[in-house]
Amino acid sequence: MSPLEQTWADKPGILGWLSTVDHKRIGLRFVVTTLVFFALAGQLAAVMRLQLARADNHLVGPDLYNQLFSVHGTAMMFLFAVPVMEAVALYLIPLMVGTRNVAFPRLNAYGYWLFLFGGVMLFVVFALNIGPEAGWFNYVPLSGPEFSAGKRSDFWAQLITFTEISALIGAIQIITTAFKMRAPGMTLARMPLFVWAMVVTSFMIVFAMPSVMLASTFLITDRLVSTQFYNPAEGGDVLLWQHLFWFFGHPEVYIIFVPALGMISEILPTFARRRVVGYVAMVVALVTIAFLSFGLWVHHMFTTGLPPLGMSFFTAASIMIALPTGLQIFCWIATLATGKRVQFAAPLLFVIGFFFIFIIGGLTGVMLGATTLDSQLHDSYFVVAHLHYVLIGGAVFPLFGGFYYWFPKLTGRMLSERAGRWNFWLFFVGFNVAFFPMHILGLQGMPRRVYTYSAASGWENLNLLSTLGAFTIAVSMLVFLVNVVMSLRRAGRAPHNPWNAATLEWATSSPPPAYNFATIPVVNSRTPLWEQKFPMAEVTGLPDILPTVLVTRLHDAEPDHVAILPTPSLWPFLAAIATTVMFVGSVFTPWAVVWGAVPVGITLIGWFWPDKEEAARMLSIEVKPSEGEARVVALREALS
């Protein structure tokens, strides 16, 4: 093993698996975990659809149904949609920007474990009949102490705590890695659009998550220690919950959507065989979407009797956000039009599916953003249709395109193209059959979150059709699973750049080695693999006896200094366990926060405790200032 391999290798066996800080291993298991939660939440939806397939059905009673739709929504939004995007980003971004790991590798591991434990907690409590039951947005007073007995609402609030922290950790990684660890020469104007999208998303996470943290904390304290935040009789306000939640909740859906926009901006140009048209416009559009998304939240509250003039501003903002989104769509179409003959493959199929489905969702979104129309459509199945069109069309289809696109890089195998087409068509047709009728059901007066309806309502036929579509989606997911399993078993390694794509991650082997790049490349183009000659200019002199990365300057990626990253450690895993115990305990007693902080403190001390051998190595590669100056002078002389 070369010194580089040795330095970046994990310990063997289960200890290595638990203590790894390799962003690729963590990213991959993170993606797999989110997909497991996706499958579980999807099964809950299947049960709901079975219940709703017939009028006055008795498959599931109201109590279980309420938990079904609440856990479905909560799991999909907090355990799948946001985390899967972050997970893909944590895998790809260091590769795309030409570095060896994320900025805070142990924190990365901690963020994954905390996410896993929180997600497991949600499904365990659901199995124990303590699942959340007031919807994924858990409105008070229904979720408050008087109307929600037991611990169901408290576990929902604690799930938020787990996933918020995990999301914030991911956001910090992404911002710092993308801003400070790019390969030399990769100015901000040469950064891949997926990285831009993830940076923008991460800033949205940083600003939005505190709001839901506040809301859920107030709910926890109202329920546990009798604060009065949401009690109108004692000076609180039920609308406070809605404002705090939706101030987070609206950016949340863009946190889910913007990464998908980034993925499309990577996939589509590869198959159009030209770089994206209007790179600067695309970046500006992403940033505009992020800013605007913070000004829309009241459109979830249009029926609460707020002053009409104030609500008009939110209508204006809600409608305005269609503009940067539309700009992105137009630029992509222009890219397809001006490229060479389009090459069709499964990743592009899913991206095309995005266009067909998401645009419908965007247009119904403009309808819902209009206060007048929203007064009829809000809280009906029209909204259920809209949200699935934008989330599945806008995020899941590009995500699947991303899976087919990046699968060879992550695993070293290609996914079957034929199975991919079956996957796509079953998903596309099943999705539209499942969700388009819901627009009509909403217009026919069917409200959301009803566990049953009467035969006299006339809603039965469309509900039955929708259920058939839902099961078609389930079949398409099975096809995907079979495709993945069979492809992993197939012999034949994928080449390092099977799609002839342009960005740096394709310069590594499939899958990449633990250290990503044997030498850090120097970049002088937005599409390095299309324009730069091989072998590319590279950075030399990074010490290889410790995990080192090159830290560069923010806007022009000039080398700044060498940073030494932490080595693998079991402490993040242990810290996550301690944190979990503290959080779960605080559902039952506020003292858990006090006593639980002790083990957390201990694990954090272990985490940061210096290792003698590593310290010795660090000393050995330290360069004193005078020595450093002498070396620079010598180099200049040698180069001149």
Sites for other proteins among residues 224-243 (CB under 8 A): 224-226, 228, 230-234, 237-239
In the complex, what is the shortest distance from the CB of residue 323 to other proteins, in angstroms, rounded to a whole number? 6
> Which residues ranging from 22 to 61 are in contact with other proteins (CB under 8 A)?
61
Choose between 129 and 500: whose C-beta lies nearer to other proteins: 129
Q: How far apart are CA 298 and CA 519, in angstroms?
A: 50
The Cα-based distances of 79 to 33, 75, 84, 121 in angstroms read 9, 5, 8, 11
Q: Which is nearer to other proteins, 364 or 516 (CB)?
A: 364
What tokens does 482 get? 């079979």
Is 380 near other proteins (CB under 8 A)?
A: yes
Q: Residue 128, interface with other proteins (CB under 8 A)?
A: yes
| Residue 518 makes contact with other proteins by CB under 8 A | no
User: Using CB under 8 A, which of 104, 453, 480, 506 touches other proteins?
Assistant: 453
Quick one: which segment of 180-188, 219-227, 253-261, 596-604 binds other proteins (CB under 8 A)?
219-227
Stretches 147-155, 544-552, 571-579, 608-616: which one binds other proteins (CB under 8 A)?
147-155
Is residue 593 close enough to count as binding other proteins by CB under 8 A?
Answer: no
Euclidean distance between CA atoms 489 and 497, whole angstroms:
20
**Single residue of 176, 217, 452, 519 touching other proteins by CB under 8 A:** 452
Decide: is 445 part of the binding site for other proteins (CB under 8 A). yes
Minimum gap (Å) between residue 282 Cβ and other proteins: 11
- Cα separations in angstroms, 299 against 210, 317, 489: 20, 9, 48
b/e per residue 420-454 (b: at least 16 CB within 10 A): bebbbebbbebbbbbbbbbbbbbeeebebeebbbe
Minimum Å distance from CB 300 to other proteins?
Answer: 11
Segment near other proteins (CB under 8 A), from 92-100, 130-138, 504-512, 620-628? Answer: 130-138
CA distance 109 to 111: 5
Q: Which is nearer to other proteins, 241 or 517 (CB)?
A: 241
Asked if 129 interacts with other proteins (CB under 8 A), we say yes
CB nearer to other proteins: give 341 or 561: 341
C-alpha distances out from residue 205 to 163, 172, 248, 510, Å = 11, 9, 9, 31
Question: What is the spatial distance between Cα 88 and Cα 400, in angstroms, rounded to a whole number?
Answer: 11
Binding to other proteins by residue 591, rule CB under 8 A? yes
Q: Which stretch binds other proteins (CB under 8 A): 26-34, 560-568, 586-594, 616-624?
A: 586-594
Judged by CB, which is closer to other proteins: 337, or 623? 337
Q: Which of 35, 134, 244, 434 binds other proteins (CB under 8 A)?
A: 134
Q: Which of 305, 310, 492, 610 is in the footprint of other proteins by CB under 8 A?
A: 305
Q: Is the CB of 375 or the CB of 620 nearer to other proteins? A: 375
Q: Residues touching other proteins: how many (CB under 8 A)?
A: 104
Q: Does 411 bind other proteins (CB under 8 A)?
A: no
Q: Which stretch binds other proteins (CB under 8 A): 17-25, 26-34, 218-226, 555-563?
A: 218-226
Closest CA to 218 of 302, 131, 160: 160
> Which residue is listed with tokens 């409105």?
139
Q: Can you say whether the dihedral through the CA atoms of 489, 491, 497, 498 is positive or negative?
A: negative
Where would I find the H helices in 567-624?
A: 571-585, 591-608, 612-621
| Segment contacting other proteins by CB under 8 A, of 183-191, 474-482, 505-513, 579-587 | 579-587
Least Cβ distance, residue 266 to other proteins (angstroms):
18
Angstrom distance (rounded) from CA 220 to CA 218: 5
* Amino acid at position 110, single letter: Y
Residue 567 neighbours by CB under 8 Å, 6+ apart? 21, 546, 547, 611, 614
Q: Which residues pair with 447 in a beta bridge?
A: 380
Q: Does 377 bind other proteins (CB under 8 A)?
A: yes
- Measured CA to CA in angstroms, residue 40 lies from 35, 153, 521 at distances of 9, 20, 42
Choosing from 50, 366, 545, 602, the residue that interacts with other proteins (CB under 8 A) is 366
Confirm or reject binding of residue 352 to other proteins (CB under 8 A).
Answer: yes
Question: What are the CA-CA distances from residue 311 to residues 54, 403, 636 (Å)?
Answer: 38, 40, 64
Question: Does 385 engage in binding with other proteins (CB under 8 A)?
Answer: no
Q: Contacting other proteins (CB under 8 A), which of 2, 6, 500, 589?
A: 589
d(CA 530, CA 272): 13
Please identify which residue in the block is written with the tokens 């790179």.
279
Cα separation, 172 vs 107, in Å, equals 10
Looking from the CA of 294 toward its CB, the CA atoms found within 13 Å total 14
Identity of residue 517: F
The residue type at 519: T
Q: At closest approach, how far in Å is the CB of 597 from other proteins?
A: 15
By CB under 8 A, residue 151 contacts other proteins: yes
461 binds other proteins (CB under 8 A): no
Decide: is 343 part of the binding site for other proteins (CB under 8 A).
no
Nearest Cα residue to 322 out of 275, 369, 357, 281: 369
- Binding to other proteins (CB under 8 A) within 258-297 occurs at 277-278
- Selected binder of other proteins within 18, 443, 475, 542 (CB under 8 A): 443
Cα–Cα distance list, 8 to 144, 529, 566 (Å): 50, 25, 10
